[in-house]
Amino acid sequence: MNIINEVRKYFKTAKFQELHFQTKIQEYVCKIQQIFSLFLVVFFVINIIIVSSISFFTLKQLNKASWISLLQLFLCIGAYILFSTYLKTHKKYILPMSYLNIFQVLFLFEVQYFLYDEYMSFAVIMGITIVSSLTIIGHIGKYSSIVLIISVIDIAISCYKKPNEINSYVMNLYILDNLFIMMIAISTNFYTNCLKYKQFEDEEKLIYLSEKDGLTGLCNRKALENAVNNSALENTISAFIILDLDNFKTLNDTFGHGVGDDCLREVGDKLKRIFREVDCVSRLGGDEFVIFISDVKNTDWVMKRTKTMIENIPKTYTKNKDSITVTCSIGVAFCEEKGNDLYEKLYQSADMAMYHSKKNGKNCVFCFNDLQSQIKQKNI
């Protein structure tokens, strides 16, 4: 009963998992297909040498099926090169090419069996079929279709070659062997998929925990740096917003850290509502928050968001006769230049703008570009 429930759960979530872990699946399949192709290259080289040698010394002639093995060898070399070079940068073709690679390998074994059955071992075909089940992560129906087609072809060839044995015990046993191997291959592929999806989920949870602030649930410094470094590869304008709470230390000292923590969580919730899910909203520590926007289409949109922050974040805390109003000072920096030190440049610029906001009465926004203009005017 547990197995049936697991199968139902798998088919229910398979499509979501394929989309959610698409990049990881592509990278894993690309790597495992390289190994699979390299394994087959070694196998065919050894097979050609050994089988040809045995055939020559025992039958005094070369193995007639060697030309198919050579064809398979060259196709596997081509597949290895393809997965090692082109498909690493064209990931959307990885899964289709993987299914095609598995099919051509198994199909050519069947061609060899059809033309030269005396040189082809059933154990070899079935062994490669089972090994192929470990080389693909995807919807189980696609791999099952390939294995089913190959099994039908294999049975059809056997019936064609031995028409007098179609209803015999030996043929029925052969058909059962094919079905049994097919079930093993599909089950192995299913189990491999489940294991890899579980591994991807566990890795994602670890990444989530390592890149989240424990108090607010926002991104932490590590996640912020990763977001900035990833954007450095793109030719877009970036925005870096630093928010520092005014009077937060006084709030902590007067009302205690519990109230201070509640304030930080509330600010974090407000920031998540103001900005989009694709924007990196983070807390670096203390009362310092940073919002990083990697692809700025309109700088006015960013400045409107900062004004919304100024309007929504202020809150007054009252206890007995004590009353403290927490506001925020904001610094903004835009950058179109990219480089390895993008994070440091943006942080320093936005931090300078934020401190300028504090010096000018707090609870206001200042942009680094405006600050540069004022400095130039003073120098003039």
Catalytic hit among 154, 244, 287, 351: 287
97-104: long-range contacts, CB 8 A cutoff, minimum separation 24:
97/33, 98/29, 98/33, 98/135, 98/136, 98/138, 99/136, 99/138, 99/142, 99/143, 99/146, 101/33, 101/36, 101/37, 102/132, 102/135, 102/136, 102/143, 102/146, 103/146, 103/149, 103/150, 104/75
Q: How far apart are the C-alpha atoms of 166 and 181, rounded to whole Å?
A: 20
Number of neighbouring beta carbons within 10 Å of residue 229: 12
Active site residue 287: yes
Closest CA to 207 of 191, 220, 216: 220
**Nearest-angstrom CA–CA distance, 115 and 118:** 9
**Angle subtended by helix axes 257-274 and 248-255, to nearest 10:** 140
CA distance 187 to 6: 12
Question: Taking the C-alpha atoms of 334, 336, 341 and 345 in order, what is their torsion angle to the nearest 10 degrees?
Answer: -30
**Looking at the annotation, which residues are catalytic?**
287
